[in-house]
Amino acid sequence: MSEGQVRFEKRDGVAYVTFDRPEAMNALTWSMYDRLAEIASELRTDTQTRVVVFRGAGGKAFIAGTDIRGFSAFTKGADGLAYEAKMDDYVGRLERLPQATLAVIDGYAVGGGLAISAACDLRIATPDAKFGSPLARTVGNCLSAKSYARLLEAVGTSWAKRMLILGEMMPATAARDLGYLIDLVEPGDMDARIGEITKRLLQHAPLTIAGSKDAILRIREANLPDIEDIVEGIYGSDDFREGVASFLEKRKPAWTGR
């Protein structure tokens, strides 16, 4: 299986970022995350680009999370703390972009894919799109405080618990009704709808967009609690190691609560 790539191009004031690893439902490898960070750093100071569009290749998934193979080397809770800090940096770079950002979801946005779609300002999706963070029934890990806050802001407490505790996937219609999506679009109409939205955004005041984004982010992250004890305890548990092993071995996990 390939390491995948993150394709990047700019046209007429719009940047297009495509997660390209369709054989793995665009699950992100470390090299893809690193490339995404490089792109975000370039866009951060790009005053000619006003809109950034994020999309997954292949038509079946936006991003199906982080490649679980990377978790197999974790041996202690501190590894989980370092990983979540790294994820906060990667996703935070997208949230701090001054441009208006649009996530285009074809199919699944799961785990890291859900986080990246939530980090974008606006989202549209195909009617069959699904959103989730089924940690309790898959790998048995957890999120950082920033990631929990982002999820709560995006879908609310009730749906966050349905995703995290019940392992439920939120359908596109529910995401639209919550306001998480601004539109549901048939696959054949997606490119035209992207064009309509980007054309509208290009006409708006860039300083207002950037300032509003920064203000909202500061308000959300003000006085976040320290949950490193929770993160370290879960990533250092026997259950987390069992979750990773069972996922990679394609079997059901045998949770023990230890």
Predicted pLDDT of residue 68? 87
Buried b / exposed e along 142-164 (16+ C-beta atoms within 10 A): bbbbbbbebbeebbeeebbebbb
Please spell the DSSP secondary structure of 205-234, one letter per residue: -HHHHHHHHHHHHHHHHTT----HHHHHHH
pLDDT band with cut points at 50, 70 and 90 for residue 14: very high
Question: Is pLDDT at 181 greater than 90 in this prediction?
Answer: yes
With both helix axes pointing from N to C terminus, report the angle between 145-164 and 112-119 in degrees, rounded to the nearest 10.
120
Question: Is pLDDT at 19 greater than 80 in this prediction?
Answer: yes
> Which token pair is 44?
């951060």
Q: Give the whole-number percent of the chain exceeding pLDDT 90.
A: 95
Question: Is pLDDT at 70 greater than 90 in this prediction?
Answer: no
Predicted pLDDT of residue 194? 98
Q: What span, in angstroms and rounded, lies between the C-alpha atoms of 152 and 170? A: 14
Q: Which residue has the tokens 């719009």?
A: 14
Q: Which residue has the tokens 């701090």?
A: 96
Predicted structure pTM score: 0.95
The average pLDDT across 146-164 equals: 97
Helices (H) and strands (E) in the chain, counts: 9, 10
Predicted pLDDT of residue 133? 96
pLDDT band with cut points at 50, 70 and 90 for residue 67: confident
Question: Is pLDDT at 182 greater than 70 in this prediction?
Answer: yes
Predicted pLDDT of residue 1? 62
> Which token pair is 210?
């950037």
Go through the domains of the chain in sequence order and give each one's CATH number: 5-187 (3.90.226.10)
Cβ-contact 32, 4 below 8 angstroms? yes
pLDDT digits (tens, 9 = 90+) for 210-252: 999 999 999 999 999 999 999 999 999 999 999 999 999 999 9
Predicted pLDDT of residue 190? 97
> Which token pair is 59?
């038509």
Predicted pLDDT of residue 221? 95
Predicted pLDDT of residue 116? 97
Beta-carbon contacts of residue 56 (< 8 Å; ≥ 6 apart): 18, 19, 22, 26, 62, 63, 105, 106, 107, 113
With both helix axes pointing from N to C terminus, report the angle between 77-95 and 30-44 in degrees, rounded to the nearest 10.
40
Cβ-contact 124, 197 below 8 angstroms? yes
Alpha helices in the chain (DSSP H): 30-44, 77-95, 112-119, 145-164, 172-178, 190-202, 206-221, 228-235, 238-249
User: What's the whole-number average pLDDT of the chain?
Assistant: 96
Question: Is pLDDT at 175 greater than 70 in this prediction?
Answer: yes
Question: Is pLDDT at 2 greater than 90 in this prediction?
Answer: no
- Pick the closest to residue 73 from 207, 183, 235, 190 (CA basis): 235
Question: Is pLDDT at 93 greater than 90 in this prediction?
Answer: yes
- 51 to each of 56, 128, 224, how far by Cα in Å? 17, 25, 29
